[in-house]
Structure 1
Amino acid sequence: MMKKAWKGILGLLMAMTFTVSAGRMVYAETVDENHEVPDGVTVNGMELGGLTVKAAEDKLQQYMDEVCGGSVTLTVLGEDVTFAYKDFDMHAADSTVVQDICQIGTKGNLIRRYKELSDVKNNKAEFTLKFEYDHNKLKKVISEKTESYNKEAENASLVRHSGEFIITDDVTGVKVDTDATTAEVEKALGDGWDGSSQKLDAVVEETKAAHTSDELKQVTDLLGGYSTDYSSSSSNRIANIANGASLVDETVVYPGDTFSFLNHVTPFTAANGYYQATGYSGGRVVPSTGGGICQVSSTMYNAVLRAELEVVERSNHGLTVGYVPLGADATVAEGGVDFRFRNNLDAPVYIEAYTYGGQIYVNIYGHETRASNRSIEFTSVTDKTIKPGDDVITKDDTQPEGWQEVTQSAHDGYVASFYKKIYVDGSLQDTVWINTSYYSASPRYITVGTKKESSDDNSDQKEEADNTSGDKKNE
């Protein structure tokens, strides 16, 4: 046994060169590309013992290239998405491992070195080559490769055409959870990874639509409707009413939600389909873009009352209007006065608005729960009439004295109350106050001429009169 040990030590000495430093002998192993890896050494399961440094490095490089040339395949909604390890900078953590393992048995005294070599040969020395990658790049690659699969949830929709309700089903939204999917990939590439390509499922989150087709299937009944006449209006005003009706048509208001008229019909601009027409401003009838839109809001107000939904905001006009009774109007003004109602029912309501034959129609559909023997009607009561004040005169020095033009007729003012009457089996059961509206009286507005006749005009008239007089005498 001792002879065998010394034989090994002598062999080790033959593999050494000696140098003199500071007057003493030291050992230095020459580790070049022809040096052999000690027997019993494995790296990631590969036997490297007995190979030269060059051969071991070549074998290890081939292994690293194979590993880094691998890929990750994610299954997303039944489809595979593949990307390479190199896309997120996969690389060996320490590619000098061959140089490191060649140092075995080259440090310390001869006996220690021999013991290291003997231990490696008899017990095997297993080394693991670690791989690293860029975490942020991995996350970015996953996000980019799976982005096309992300889909927002879509609510069901409802339209009414030719007297029939048409429902488009809701769509469930899906989204790849990038953080969770990245964590799964890193887990697969962690402890126990054999360097092979990996295939796993992406982590996908589903988002249900806020409103489903089942909700909309409840909309089956006409809850309330109203129409007003605009046949005597100008073409621009008629166009504005039709445009406003189209902007609120096909709107669904879900339980608890509040409908804002202004949010649907503004801005009052040409780009949004409006024209110049007359409207009220400061107690005067003036041209305005969108003139006539209040007939749409007022018609809707009456439909809402008949559907018995909760009115949140409503204001009467400053002056009376002719298309609804006193107290039945609802004025709006961009940036200020709105008409709003809340769906206080347990099912969605659907707004239908359209124009036809000189009339605007607004109907509200939903799920009827009121008793069939119950009915309602609305009445307007004038509490007070206010007479207009004196004429408002505007002078125009471009028109002669004696000329005048009425620019706005006088209007009485009113205080009016609006009521809902409730009947059961035709018998009045209750009268409910809805609102009291105040309409200002408006005086007559007149423009009169103030231009005086010039002296030259008077002289010409006098000369003409004298000539006429002379002729008569001559007759």
Structure 2
Amino acid sequence: MKRVKKISLIIVGIFFVCNIQVVQGIEKEGRIHKNIFVENIDLSNLTKEQARKKINEILDENNELSLIYKDNKYTIKLNELGIVYNVDEVVNESYNIGRNNTIVNNLKEKFKLDMGNKKTIKLNYSYKEEELNNYINEIDKKLYISPINATIKIESGKIITTKEEYGQKIDKEKLKKEILDKADNIYAYSVEIPIQVAEPKYKIEQLSKIDTILGTYETHFNPKVINRVNNIQIAANATSNILVNTEEEFSFNTFILNSNSVKNMKEAPVIIKGKLEKGLGGGICQVSSTMYNAALYAGMEITNIKNHTIPSAYISKGRDATISLGNIDFRFKNKFNTPILIYNEVFENRIVSTIYGNKEDKKDIEIVTEVIETLPNKVVEKRSEDFYKGEKFVEQDGRVGYKVNTFRVYKSENNITKEFVYESFYPPMDKVIVYGIKSKDIKSAPKIEDKNIKTEFA
């Protein structure tokens, strides 16, 4: 028995020594040990260069990926998506197996490999996020079918709706995952493009709830001021037939600017530094002011409002809403659970703004304004050598200023609630009178009529 055991030990020892010699021979030749794989690529007895070449050849053969949806097929190479494999890293790791440990541990590792144990190394990759996303976006553009919103319009005072249509779009995150899974499985050749339904923003179910007038208001204008009427019509159209969804904010300036209607506006009176002067777009503030009051009556949350510096002739103090494109905006938010529709109409001498919504949101509302302070203006006297003694003229007409509070009053059977909305400030303007101090000299008398001024004599 002892003899058999001794013989067995001798055989194992001889095998072990032979194994060491073989391994040492392989190491001398700079080759990877047998039974070492990268994924399922056998690198046994290959040099680093041979292993690198073998892996790259297989990757090149399987570099092409087809994305398929029905009859549509899009082919691209993985390296065009910025996908790069860590070939050098796995080759070095393969080569170092049985080399980068202690002598005893290296021998144990090599012995296991010689006995048929397989060592598999995972091939990892990196990719460029932007390039992959850009490619997926390009495919999405080709397959995208835009959904069509349900529509709503007012015809002869009636609310007319049409049904929505659904579209389609790529499930971008899912497609991205499947492409990267393909990068993990180097022998996969195609991917089915995942498609999902593109839902419209507005559906008939929502818009059918718009069934009543929540608030309406009208102001009047002089139809003979042609340029101003033109601007009112343009601004009213640009801000009409607008749906505002739940929790969305309406911006007057946004719709004016997005409509490109500014290019068609004409010169009409505008307020510049507290004075009426000619300027592009005069009259559009009458539209914003009319809409402001419709929004107040409709129960909208006013999120941005500013009054003019001069009280307006077409509306009461405290109820105007000035705008300045790119600077001062009129905005409100829909806090109701259903969308609302803004609808403007311009008639011969008036503009009507109406907000439609759900009858459950309709409130009994009254708008109240209170002048809390009247601010007197000053009379400023100036002396000028450009005019004769005894002459005077009004260089600037003055006006009284005001502070006005605006309230929204909600009425119900059992309760009345008063909500503060805004404090309007109309600054006073000094009246400036110029007195002449020049001695009379007929030869050098100025031509008063050449000066565009209002003159009166004492």
**TM-score relative to the length of structure 1:** 0.57
The one-letter code matched in structure 2 to 1:150 is D
C-alpha separation between the residues in 2 aligned to 1:396 and 1:287?
Answer: 30
Shift of residue 276 of structure 1? 2.6
Q: 2:418 aligns with which of 422, 432, 453?
A: 432
Structure 2 counterpart of 1:240: 231
- Distance of aligned partners of 1:316 and 1:76 in 2 relative to their CA distance in 1, 3 Å threshold: same
C-alpha separation between the residues in 2 aligned to 1:409 and 1:320?
Answer: 15
The one-letter code matched in structure 1 to 2:427 is S
Structure 2 counterpart of 1:378: 367
C-alpha separation between the residues in 2 aligned to 1:81 and 1:184?
Answer: 17
For the 8 Å contact 1:278–1:287, the answer to whether it is kept is yes
Shift of residue 403 of structure 1? 7.2
- Distance of aligned partners of 1:135 and 1:260 in 2 relative to their CA distance in 1, 3 Å threshold: closer
Shift of residue 334 of structure 1? 4.3
C-alpha separation between the residues in 2 aligned to 1:441 and 1:169?
Answer: 56
Structure 2 counterpart of 1:26: none
C-alpha separation between the residues in 2 aligned to 1:416 and 1:197?
Answer: 74
Shift of residue 369 of structure 1? 0.9
Q: 2:273 aligns with which of 279, 282, 285?
A: 282
Q: 1:174 aligns with which of 167, 170, 173?
A: 170
C-alpha separation between the residues in 1 aligned to 2:381 and 2:255?
Answer: 38
C-alpha separation between the residues in 2 aligned to 1:321 and 1:388?
Answer: 18
Gap regions ≥5 residues in structure 1: 1-43, 45-64, 94-131, 190-195, 459-475
Aligned length: 375
Structure 1 counterpart of 2:311: 320
For the 8 Å contact 1:421–1:428, the answer to whether it is kept is no
For the 8 Å contact 2:270–2:278, the answer to whether it is kept is yes
Root mean square deviation, CA, Å: 5.7
Gap regions ≥5 residues in structure 2: 1-39, 41-56, 89-122, 446-458
C-alpha separation between the residues in 1 aligned to 2:197 and 2:373?
Answer: 62
C-alpha separation between the residues in 2 aligned to 1:212 and 1:238?
Answer: 36
For the 8 Å contact 1:347–1:366, the answer to whether it is kept is yes
Shift of residue 210 of structure 1? 5.8
**SS of structure 1 residue aligned to 2:360:** coil
Shift of residue 81 of structure 1? 3.5
- Distance of aligned partners of 1:330 and 1:176 in 2 relative to their CA distance in 1, 3 Å threshold: closer
For the 8 Å contact 2:167–2:198, the answer to whether it is kept is no
For the 8 Å contact 1:176–1:202, the answer to whether it is kept is no
C-alpha separation between the residues in 1 aligned to 2:391 and 2:400?
Answer: 26
- Distance of aligned partners of 1:233 and 1:383 in 2 relative to their CA distance in 1, 3 Å threshold: farther
Question: 1:6-21 to 2 correspondence within 5 Å?
Answer: none
- Distance of aligned partners of 1:80 and 1:140 in 2 relative to their CA distance in 1, 3 Å threshold: farther
- Distance of aligned partners of 1:268 and 1:429 in 2 relative to their CA distance in 1, 3 Å threshold: same
Structure 2 counterpart of 1:329: 320
For the 8 Å contact 2:170–2:193, the answer to whether it is kept is no
- Distance of aligned partners of 1:71 and 1:420 in 2 relative to their CA distance in 1, 3 Å threshold: closer
**SS of structure 2 residue aligned to 1:263:** helix
C-alpha separation between the residues in 2 aligned to 1:210 and 1:232?
Answer: 39
For the 8 Å contact 2:336–2:361, the answer to whether it is kept is no
Structure 2 counterpart of 1:353: 344
1:390-422 per-position Cα deviation (integer Å, ceiling 9, x unaligned)? 26769694x887777667654343344444444
**TM-score relative to the length of structure 2:** 0.59
Shift of residue 251 of structure 1? 2.5
- Distance of aligned partners of 1:402 and 1:363 in 2 relative to their CA distance in 1, 3 Å threshold: farther
**SS of structure 2 residue aligned to 1:378:** strand
